[in-house]
Structure 1
């Protein structure tokens, strides 16, 4: 099935919509792919469905962009989640060619995996809190987060022309009494297509970690004369 993008308006007047964590949103969306995946437990269901999502805020309110490679059972969406648009991304992906200039957006989750050789000073958060001895990853901020995106973009076939980073609230999920938190940074800018094939794969499969927290969905749009974009994913 082609890669499909769906826009869902979030009605924050509904309590469950307003209070849903990123983990809650992921679980709601995963219920929509059960029928397409056969309804049975399978390995890596999110990856098989190509399910990615991102929540965005505008002056008009919040909406969710959902990307998938399988049919979703939209009738299973709970109250307060309203579909307002569906788009096939295949024409955009097929059109991508080396040298094309595109506008991009991604909410990434920049993290550094700590090895045994990392110095003790790296085992502290920005606020000075000491990480536990079993902490293996450290959120990246500032220039380190920018460098993370530059590397991921290059691996994804993009040659960055510009990049603006906006730090967002952490993405949260509750597993029992334990809160799992992932950093979130939105990167926007212009880029040139360096290699179209890995770029298609990056759009279809997502980039980096935190996909179940609403991170990793790479959106592209061709740049028109005058700065507007077309064909956004």
Structure 2
């Protein structure tokens, strides 16, 4: 099955696009927009079934949206003049993963820990605790090792927390409030396990994948000089 990487460039004249790309609820609104690029009636979790992951990227030309999927997206169901799409297959990149190869990586993730019941009771903690600073960096280093990578450099940048009401399948807000802290991780790493890395790229890292977290992007280091 082909894996696709799509760059969605919003039209600066589209009020709908600009509204989707700004504010603390950006990740929630973009989930609905992104899923509009794919077929309906795919079961209870179409995002996971189609392997859809996305990330909002700041560029000199304004925000762009990177979307990874195992179904080629189409503009047909987006508002007129909303954006342009450029899509390419990732298969050659994934097939070229080899042990010892050095990569540049980027991932926006939601680092958390889940304390045990006794720890939660003792310190009155919630079931899921967002991590930041050194704790988030340590979380990321564990994730990269699980993903078949050995980091050689890394840099973390705190991002705005995603907040808002979770949309239903029709894009309408319900009463379930969500909150996901985010950190962007950039750096270089060496591949130790290509199979694990491929699995991680296809499935994402951590929580909040429906809201713009978890997409791991890689580029061979020698190609980005």
Specify if TM > 0.5.
yes
| Structure 2 partner of 1:109 | 110
Structure 1 residues 217 and 174: CA distance shift in structure 2, 3 A: same
TM-score by length of 2: 0.87
| Structure 1 partner of 2:171 | none
- The structure 2 residue matched to 1:31, chosen from 33, 36, 41, is 36
Q: Please show how residues 104-143 of structure 1 align to structure 2 within 5 Å.
A: 104-118=105-119, 123=124, 135-143=126-134
User: How big is each residue's C-alpha offset from its partner over 1:5-56, in whole Å with a ceiling of 9 and x where there is no partner?
Assistant: 010112354333223221111111212222xxxx325132111101000001
CA distance in 2, matches of 1:96, 1:138: 34
**Contact 1:6 1:83 (C-alpha < 8 Å) held by counterparts:** no
Q: Please show how residues 22-171 of structure 1 align to structure 2 within 5 Å.
A: 22-34=27-39, 39-79=40-80, 81-118=82-119, 123=124, 135-171=126-162
CA distance in 2, matches of 1:179, 1:222: 39
Gaps of 5+ in 2: 21-25, 167-173
- The structure 2 residue matched to 1:174, chosen from 150, 162, 165, is 165
**Contact 1:172 1:213 (C-alpha < 8 Å) held by counterparts:** no
CA distance in 2, matches of 1:210, 1:137: 13
| Structure 1 partner of 2:169 | none
TM-score by length of 1: 0.84
**Contact 2:10 2:84 (C-alpha < 8 Å) held by counterparts:** no
CA distance in 2, matches of 1:173, 1:27: 13
- The structure 2 residue matched to 1:200, chosen from 185, 198, 201, is 198
Structure 1 counterpart SS, 2:73: coil
Equivalent pairs counted in the alignment come to: 213
**Contact 1:98 1:195 (C-alpha < 8 Å) held by counterparts:** yes
| Structure 2 partner of 1:2 | 2
Q: Please state how far the C-alpha of 1:77 moved relative to its aligned partner.
A: 1.9
Let me know the Cα RMSD of the aligned residues. Answer: 2.0
